[in-house]
């Protein structure tokens, strides 16, 4: 039975994942190397819970109860007793592999290790552990407390038991599951990132302004936001990283990142988080 969950990485995705697990009654250990990031994450979780309470989505008493279930730590060894861990650090393969090597040595042998990666092969991540049958992809969407979808990705060795337990967790968080095979980009980013990249090419080639590209896709295809606004929201560095995984993984020129995207990332124009991307914030 899963009662204690470890979340590695206290950034935007990590704090959202910790939020939903704690909200649904799990004890959560939230790990990050930065004390400031941990403090920010817990404050963000509290603010988001208070917003939910004001809207009537949750009882006000749940705010304090939920935050009280979260233990923030800079020591990965504190996750030793966790039944289930979700890694949610930066989309950087060497970093993720290093974390899984360390986590595999720390966490009890029966625990499941999941990655929130949006593009890196689960089979590759599992290969650096001694428990490949207990490694799985659990890709939450941003913002985690609001978005209903979780992509679940089985690695080459992921067991049926690991998959079933993960599927039950998704259902217990009142989210919907989409199951993907372990190929670059999985489902969502396999479709989404090439669309965003093509929108960037349209801007790069002078076909239309950013505003008109977004207006065309928003009003013409009924998307809640245009692809360039969405790219800014995701972070252009993350978009580029996933585009690179697709390009390297398939060796197909249709996944080639737009030169404008590369230039903007090199310039530090990363979207909302840097204050400037395709738009200014």
The domains found in the chain, sorted by start residue, are 4-181 (3.40.50.720), 189-274 (1.10.1040.10)
pLDDT score for 211? 98
Which of these is catalytic: 115, 116, 119, 139?
Answer: 139
- pLDDT (tens digit, 9 = 90+) per residue, 141-182? 989 999 999 999 999 999 999 999 999 999 999 999 999 999
Structure tokens at 7: 């979340």
State yes or no: 148 annotated in a binding site: no
State yes or no: 32 annotated in a binding site: yes
Active-site residue, 151 included: yes
Which of these is catalytic: 116, 119, 189, 197?
Answer: 189
State yes or no: 48 annotated in a binding site: no
281 residues of the chain, pLDDT tens digit each: 899 999 999 999 999 999 999 999 999 999 999 999 999 999 999 999 999 999 998 999 999 999 999 999 999 999 999 999 999 998 889 999 999 999 999 999 999 999 999 888 999 999 999 999 999 999 999 899 999 999 999 999 999 999 999 999 999 999 999 999 999 999 999 999 999 999 999 999 999 999 999 999 999 999 999 999 999 999 999 999 999 989 999 999 999 999 999 999 999 999 999 999 999 99
Closest residue by Cα to residue 53 from 66, 42, 41: 66
State yes or no: 161 annotated in a binding site: no
pLDDT score for 27? 98
pLDDT score for 91? 84
Q: Are 44 and 63 in contact (CB under 8 A)?
A: no
Task: Assign 163 to helix, strand or coil.
Answer: helix
Task: Assign 184 to helix, strand or coil.
Answer: coil
- Residue 1 makes CB contacts below 8 A (sequence gap 6+) with 83
Active-site residue, 93 included: no
Q: CA–CA separation, 124 vs 132, rounded Å?
A: 9
Q: Are 200 and 264 in contact (CB under 8 A)?
A: no
State yes or no: 142 annotated in a binding site: yes
State yes or no: 119 annotated in a binding site: no
Active-site residue, 189 included: yes
State yes or no: 181 annotated in a binding site: no
Which of these is catalytic: 118, 119, 180, 197?
Answer: 118
State yes or no: 118 annotated in a binding site: yes
State yes or no: 13 annotated in a binding site: yes
Residue 220 burial (10 A CB sphere; 0-12, 13-18, 19+): exposed
Q: Report DSSP letters for 242-280, one per residue.
A: HHHHHHHHH--GGGPPPHHHHHHHHHT--BGGGTBSSSB
Which of these is catalytic: 87, 151, 180, 197?
Answer: 151
Active-site residue, 118 included: yes
pLDDT score for 38? 97
This prediction's pTM: 0.91
């Amino acid at each position: 039975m899963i009662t204690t969950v470890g979340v590695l990485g206290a950034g935007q995705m990590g704090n959202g994942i910790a939020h939903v697990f704690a909200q649904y009654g799990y004890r959560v250990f939230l790990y990050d190397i930065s004390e400031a990031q941990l403090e920010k994450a817990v404050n963000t979780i509290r603010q988001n819970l208070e917003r939910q309470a004001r809207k009537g989505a949750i009882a006000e008493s749940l705010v304090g109860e939920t935050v009280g279930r979260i233990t923030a730590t800079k020591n990965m060894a504190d996750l030793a007793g966790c039944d289930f861990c979700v890694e949610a650090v930066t989309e950087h393969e060497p970093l993720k592999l290093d974390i899984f090597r360390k986590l595999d040595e720390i966490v009890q042998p029966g625990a499941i290790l999941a990655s929130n990666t949006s593009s890196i092969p689960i089979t590759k991540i599992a290969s650096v552990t001694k428990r490949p049958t207990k490694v799985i992809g659990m890709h939450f969407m941003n913002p985690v407390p609001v978005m209903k979808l979780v992509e679940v990705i089985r690695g080459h060795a992921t067991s049926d038991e690991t998959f079933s337990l993960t599927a039950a967790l998704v259902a217990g968080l009142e989210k919907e599951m989409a199951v993907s095979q372990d190929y670059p980009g999985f489902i969502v980013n396999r479709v989404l990132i090439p669309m965003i990249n093509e929108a960037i090419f349209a801007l790069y080639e002078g076909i239309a302004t950013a505003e008109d590209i977004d207006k065309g896709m928003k009003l013409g295809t009924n998307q809640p936001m245009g692809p360039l606004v969405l790219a800014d929201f995701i972070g252009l560095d993350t978009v580029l990283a996933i585009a690179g995984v697709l390009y390297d993984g398939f060796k197909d020129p249709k996944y080639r990142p737009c030169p404008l995207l590369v230039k903007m990332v090199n310039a530090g124009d990363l979207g909302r988080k840097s204050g400037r991307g395709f738009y200014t914030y």
